[in-house]
A and B are shown apart, each in its own frame.
Chain A
Amino acid sequence: MTDTSLNTHVIASELAPAPAPIPTAPETQPQKLTRLRFRPARILLSILAIVVSVAWVFPVYWMLNSSLLSNRTLQSFIPTFVPIGGSFENYANALENGTFYSALGISLSVTLIAVFFCLLFAFLAAVAISRFRFKGRKSFVLAVLIIQMLPAEGLFIAQYKMVSSVGLLNSIIGVSIIYTAAVVPFTIWMLRGFVAGIPADLEEAAMVDGLSRTGAFMRITFPLLAPGLVASGVFAFLQAWNEFTVALVLLPAEDMHTLPLWLRGFIQASATRETDWGQVMAASTLVALPVIVFFLIVQGRMTSGLVAGAVKG
């Protein structure tokens, strides 16, 4: 790489306060890059986009479709593409013993606790490294970056020993601590870009108008950060919600299983017989549903959050 100066320059300028990225919803920004005056080209591209959409959503559709079909129908070598004559029986079966609800409760608690503390801690740290210059700043940034790269698969014995020695095995707190620690580095990294993207000038102007520094921050910067916090929160949520190696070791009791463990148990339970795909797909749908609902709720804010300068640096 000979053009490192360019490289650095790009990043440095990214870190410098950009013009106020007032959260502009993507909808209000029409196609300004590719001015396609030819309708045929545009139609072709629209068709391409639809094809891509269908291909991308197909596995999700297939999960829903299969979850509504009986195991007998699924046994056939000719796939059924539309769940005509389907039923919710697979769902009833998957929910039958009630373990889903306890797993849902535990997953929600662990994830929400982890997301909350992760955002709080990461936000404070992001403010520190993007608004202040101090001794140890570089080491901290570097440490955060490196911790992210540690593979988690070898850590479980140490994590078990640690959590168990303080009596937090099979507890929501124990797993939440590990999750928060695991997600914090990435969140700091992401939020750092957001905080840097909000011009300090705005705050200073507010201070000139008589607000205290904290007041200026809370009144001016924080609202502008909201989309950034949502976008980072979504990542933290996904990571905590999906995790299963740590949960496997730290939550050995059956009644403390999180949803990924519940689903895995479901798949494994059918290892001795032929996989009951209908039921497994129903169970998968049940695990996916809370995330999809969550995504749809935060969707608008998240997209504007990404637009506002997420993951820029």
Chain B
Amino acid sequence: MTATLTRDAPAAAPKPPAQRPRRRLSVPHLLLIPAIVILLVGMGYPLIWQIVTSMQEFGIKQQFGQPAPFVGLANYFSLATDPTMWEVVVRSIAFCFITAAVTLVVGLLLAVLMTAVGTVVRLILQISLLLAWAMPVVAAMTVWIWLFDRRRGVVNYLLDMIPGVDMNRFSWLSTPITFFIVASVIVIWMSVPFVAFSVYAGLTQVSEEVLEAAQLDGANGVKRLRYIIMPMIRPVIMIVLLLQLIWDLRVFTQITMLQDAGSKSSEYDLLGTYIYKLGAGSQDFGMASAVSIFVLALTLAISWFYVRSLLKEDEQS
């Protein structure tokens, strides 16, 4: 793969948007003011509070007005030495990578499928995906829990009909493995529409002429996919993957609702529910804040591939 394949010349040729030195001073800053103000108001204070609290001993007594002793990095040290924390971290990363990867692959395949079928079939597929996408999370979770219900769930009923399979009353939410399979299936179901639509949008932008030229030059389907289509939709895939990674790492509502229906045990925790349990559950806000800051760092580390290219791009332009 060479860089020349990334995009045909006409697309990249126009001058970069940045060449407008005469407006250098005030206009862009003015334009940014509303966004900066709302971010400072809405997120600034909570973020600072979180950083400060992560270095304090802050429990329910502090919440009721007692002074919070400054403990430096003690919360972080006790996190680092807590095996439960590391189990949750490893589990979350595994869940996040697997779920995001499967989401991406399924989304990609569905996008390709959309381009390969007739208009009517494509519309049917798009509308089903759209309906799934439009389902509010709490409503969707309720339905899925009902589908996987131990006694009267359709999933068990249908699986049980397969000869030789005994799934009668199989309790999906009672072992961590099956619990996270269910969670993963649900998250994938919810996220694939977004991926599929975005990639499909990207695919429809691939220039027909280039493909035809490649075909004339003897490139077969696989080669065209690998050398022309993939590089062209790569930016879409990158950003979609990044978003999936961010979202899947801190997935909360889905896990907490499954826990309500299954088990509250810490073996079923991911980072989102772990933070919530520490904070809202155990009123240990110092530790909860420390985990939050850790998750922020972890997300940054995972998405570094993107952040770095973003920064480089900025330097170049």
Determine which of B112, B252, B313, B316 lies in contact with A34 in the assembled complex, contact meaning CB atoms within 8 Å: B112
Residues in B with CB closer than 8 Å to A185 are 39
Smallest Cβ-Cβ distance to A124: which chain B residue: B31
Asked if B157 CB lies within 8 Å of chain A CBs, one says yes
Query: Residues of B with Cβ closer than 8 Å to A?
Result: 1-3, 6-7, 10-12, 14-21, 23-25, 27-29, 31-32, 34-36, 38-39, 41-43, 45-47, 49-50, 53, 63, 110, 112-119, 121-122, 124-140, 142-144, 146-147, 151-152, 154, 157, 189, 192-193, 197-198, 200-206, 208, 211, 221, 229, 231, 234-236, 238-240, 243, 246, 250, 252-253, 271-273, 275-276, 278-280, 285, 288-289, 291-292, 295-296, 299-300, 303, 305, 307-314, 316-317
- Asked if residues A12 and B3 are in contact (CB atoms below 8 Å), the reply is no
Given known A13-B11, A16-B14, contact A50–B39 (CB-CB < 8 A):
no
Given known A11-B309, A56-B189, contact A277–B17 (CB-CB < 8 A):
no
Determine which of A4, A14, A63, A245 lies in contact with B139 in the assembled complex, contact meaning CB atoms within 8 Å: A63
Given known A49-B124, A311-B240, contact A284–B143 (CB-CB < 8 A):
yes
Residues in A with CB closer than 8 Å to B239 are 311-313
SS of B interface (majority): helix
Q: List 14 extra interface pairs beyond A154-B278, A299-B130, A312-B202, CB under 8 A.
A: A10-B7, A16-B14, A19-B11, A31-B115, A31-B117, A42-B118, A49-B122, A59-B135, A124-B35, A140-B32, A147-B39, A263-B142, A267-B142, A312-B236
Query: Residues of A with Cβ closer than 8 Å to B?
Result: 1, 3-19, 21, 24, 26-27, 29-34, 36, 42, 45-46, 48-50, 52-54, 56-57, 59-60, 62-63, 66, 74-79, 117, 120-122, 124-125, 127-134, 136-138, 140-159, 161-162, 177-178, 180-182, 184-185, 188, 196, 199-201, 238, 241-242, 244-245, 259-260, 263-264, 267, 277, 280-281, 284-285, 287-288, 291-292, 294-295, 299, 303, 306-313
Give bound CA distance, A150 to B303, whole Å: 13
- Asked if residues B309 and A4 are in contact (CB atoms below 8 Å), the reply is yes
- Asked if residues B43 and A199 are in contact (CB atoms below 8 Å), the reply is no
- Asked if residues A49 and B117 are in contact (CB atoms below 8 Å), the reply is yes
- Asked if residues A45 and B136 are in contact (CB atoms below 8 Å), the reply is no
Give bound CA distance, A3 to B312, whole Å: 13
Residue of A136, A153, A188, A200 with highest tally of chain B CB at under 10 A: A153
Give bound CA distance, A17 to B13, whole Å: 8
Q: From residue A72, how far is it (CB to closest CB) to chain B in Å?
A: 12
Give bound CA distance, A184 to B276, whole Å: 24
Determine which of B1, B142, B235, B285 lies in contact with A284 in the assembled complex, contact meaning CB atoms within 8 Å: B142
Given known A14-B235, A121-B35, A122-B35, contact A150–B138 (CB-CB < 8 A):
no
- Asked if residues A60 and B131 are in contact (CB atoms below 8 Å), the reply is yes
Smallest Cβ-Cβ distance to B110: which chain A residue: A52
Q: From residue A272, how far is it (CB to closest CB) to chain B in Å?
A: 14
Determine which of B46, B112, B311, B316 lies in contact with A155 in the assembled complex, contact meaning CB atoms within 8 Å: B46
Give bound CA distance, A125 to B37, whole Å: 11
Q: From residue A3, how far is it (CB to closest CB) to chain B in Å?
A: 7
Residues in A with CB closer than 8 Å to B211 are 32-33
- Asked if residues A157 and B63 are in contact (CB atoms below 8 Å), the reply is yes
- Asked if residues A46 and B117 are in contact (CB atoms below 8 Å), the reply is yes
- Asked if residues B116 and A79 are in contact (CB atoms below 8 Å), the reply is no
Q: From residue A308, how far is it (CB to closest CB) to chain B in Å?
A: 8
Give bound CA distance, A87 to B78, whole Å: 57
Residues in A with CB closer than 8 Å to B193 are 56
- Asked if residues B116 and A36 are in contact (CB atoms below 8 Å), the reply is yes
Give bound CA distance, A56 to B133, whole Å: 10
Given known A57-B131, A150-B292, A181-B39, contact A156–B279 (CB-CB < 8 A):
yes
Give bound CA distance, A287 to B139, whole Å: 7
SS of A interface (majority): helix
Residues in A with CB closer than 8 Å to B197 are 303, 306
Would you mind naming 28 contact pairs between A and B with Cβ atoms under 8 Å apart?
A: A10-B234, A31-B116, A33-B115, A49-B121, A53-B127, A56-B189, A57-B127, A60-B143, A66-B146, A128-B28, A129-B28, A132-B17, A134-B25, A134-B29, A148-B246, A149-B295, A154-B276, A157-B279, A159-B46, A200-B15, A238-B134, A242-B137, A242-B138, A244-B138, A288-B134, A291-B134, A292-B131, A310-B201
Smallest Cβ-Cβ distance to B119: which chain A residue: A27
Residues in A with CB closer than 8 Å to B314 are 137-138, 141
Q: From residue B157, how far is it (CB to closest CB) to chain A in Å?
A: 5
Q: From residue A130, how far is it (CB to closest CB) to chain B in Å?
A: 6
- Asked if residues A18 and B11 are in contact (CB atoms below 8 Å), the reply is yes
- Asked if residues A281 and B24 are in contact (CB atoms below 8 Å), the reply is no
- Asked if residues B200 and A291 are in contact (CB atoms below 8 Å), the reply is no
Residue of A132, A184, A277, A310 with highest tally of chain B CB at under 10 A: A132
Residues in A with CB closer than 8 Å to B305 are 1, 7
Residues in A with CB closer than 8 Å to B238 are 7, 10-11
- Asked if residues B113 and A48 are in contact (CB atoms below 8 Å), the reply is yes
- Asked if residues A117 and B38 are in contact (CB atoms below 8 Å), the reply is yes
Given known A11-B309, A36-B116, A132-B28, contact A125–B35 (CB-CB < 8 A):
yes
Smallest Cβ-Cβ distance to B278: which chain A residue: A154
- Asked if residues A125 and B113 are in contact (CB atoms below 8 Å), the reply is no
Determine which of A127, A151, A161, A184 lies in contact with B271 in the assembled complex, contact meaning CB atoms within 8 Å: A151
Residue of B20, B46, B147, B289 with highest tally of chain A CB at under 10 A: B46
Residues in B with CB closer than 8 Å to A63 are 135, 139, 142-143
- Asked if residues B235 and A77 are in contact (CB atoms below 8 Å), the reply is no
Smallest Cβ-Cβ distance to A29: which chain B residue: B204
Give bound CA distance, A224 to B272, whole Å: 39
Give bound CA distance, A66 to B278, whole Å: 36
Residues in A with CB closer than 8 Å to B236 are 311-312
- Asked if residues A132 and B35 are in contact (CB atoms below 8 Å), the reply is no
